[in-house]
Amino acid sequence: MVSKPRKRVAVSRPRRPKFQADIAPAEDQTVRLLKQALHLTSNTDFLSDAVALYQWAFSERRLGHRILSESMNGERRVLVFPRLEQVAPHADLPRVQIPWTDRELDSLAELASASEAAPPTEALLRAMRR
């Protein structure tokens, strides 16, 4: 009895998405230096780690947690990253108290209620030229 040759069945694997980015030469150099320092051999490994770090930072800010670094002597620095601040439940923005005089408040009220803007003063024009 002669056996027939088996047909090969192609097993299709899902194609992994490709990612390409155009970055400035300085950023490219930074990526290369980071890859070298972290002993990463591929851009894929670098991007996977970067995405994991970004995802963690995103989830922390979304919960309202602050992200900070602490030096050996206890000095702390808080990370403020505008894209991450967008997902924070509320932003505790710094407040500034300005001690306005009555004259300054009257002047501000006059300017705010004017129907047309006044032409710029010489002092303003000089300040803008600096």
- Hey, what are 104's tokens? 């300054």
Q: Supply the mean pLDDT for the chain.
A: 87
CB 34 within 8 A of CB 24: no
CA dihedral 88, 91, 92, 97 (to 10 degrees): 170
**What are residue 77's phi and psi, to 5 degrees?**
-130, 130
The pTM of this model reads 0.56
Q: What pLDDT does residue 116 have?
A: 81
Q: How confident is the model at residue 55 (pLDDT cuts 50, 70, 90)?
A: very high
How does pLDDT run across 74-117, given as a tens digit for each residue? Answer: 999 999 888 998 888 875 666 778 899 999 999 888 888 887 87
